[in-house]
Structure 1
Amino acid sequence: MSDPDNEQGVITALLERLRTQRLPRALDIKAKVERGEALDTFELNFLDEVFADAQRLQPRWRDHPELGAIIASMIHLYHEITTRALANEQGRGPEA
């Protein structure tokens, strides 16, 4: 059985990291791909880390349906980023 105070602290820390680190960086990456640029190694590593964390934390999010709108918004943002980044890569010629 998990400690409710500890669980609340973990959720608070995760949301703070989202607000101060993950969201600003994701918005910067989104702006970059919207300009038609390709992602660099650091940005790809960031996305790998985000997706690995999302998979690892999925059971925790399931226990907090009140966070559904936030999670859905982030999923949509990352989908936009990856879709556009792929389109940018596919549009690059062999000289790129």
Structure 2
Amino acid sequence: MSQEADDKGLAAVVLERLENERLPRAIDLKEKVDAGAKLDDMDIAFLERVFADTEDLKPMVARHPEYHALAARLMGLYEHITSKALENEKAG
């Protein structure tokens, strides 16, 4: 199978997971930390999985500029969640 075909298949799976699982959970986490709450162990485990998957997907995203804007927006969302969560932890 060609790299292009592999990338298309992987992109389809990743986008479906993003739409059905990752994005709804990320939005819930954003609302949670924006309300001043702290992340629990399950929230942190979720973010760790997301960041690990992100590392694995970097080569594919680099090959496909059409995904750059989406990837940047997602990373901005996750950065907001983690920054706000840290702020909430420090506020105690």
Q: TM-score range by the shorter chain?
A: over 0.9
Aligned residues: 92
Larger Rg: 1
Percentage of matched positions with identical amino acids: 43
Q: Unaligned 5+ residue runs, structure 2?
A: none
Alignment of 1:9-88 (within 5 A): 9-88=9-88
Structure with higher helix content: 2
8 Å contact from structure 2 (residues 29, 81) kept in 1:
yes
- Greater CA deviation, 3-12 or 83-92? 3-12
Counterpart CA distance in 1 for 2:6 and 2:84 is 38
Distance 1:79 1:12 in 2: 24
SS of the residue aligned with 1:51? helix
- Measure how far apart 1:3 and its partner are: 4.3
Asked if the contact 2:39/2:85 (under 8 Å) is kept, the reply is yes
Residue by residue, what CA displacement relative to the aligned partner does 1:11-60 show, whole Å, maximum 9, x if unpaired?
Answer: 11111111111000000000000110000000000000000111111111
**What amino acid is the match of 1:32?**
K
Report the CA distance shift for 1:6/1:55 in structure 2 as closer, same or farther (over 3 A): closer
Q: Please, what is the CA RMSD of the aligned residues?
A: 1.2
TM superposition score normalised by structure 2:
0.94
Q: Any stretches of 5+ residues in structure 1 without a counterpart?
A: none
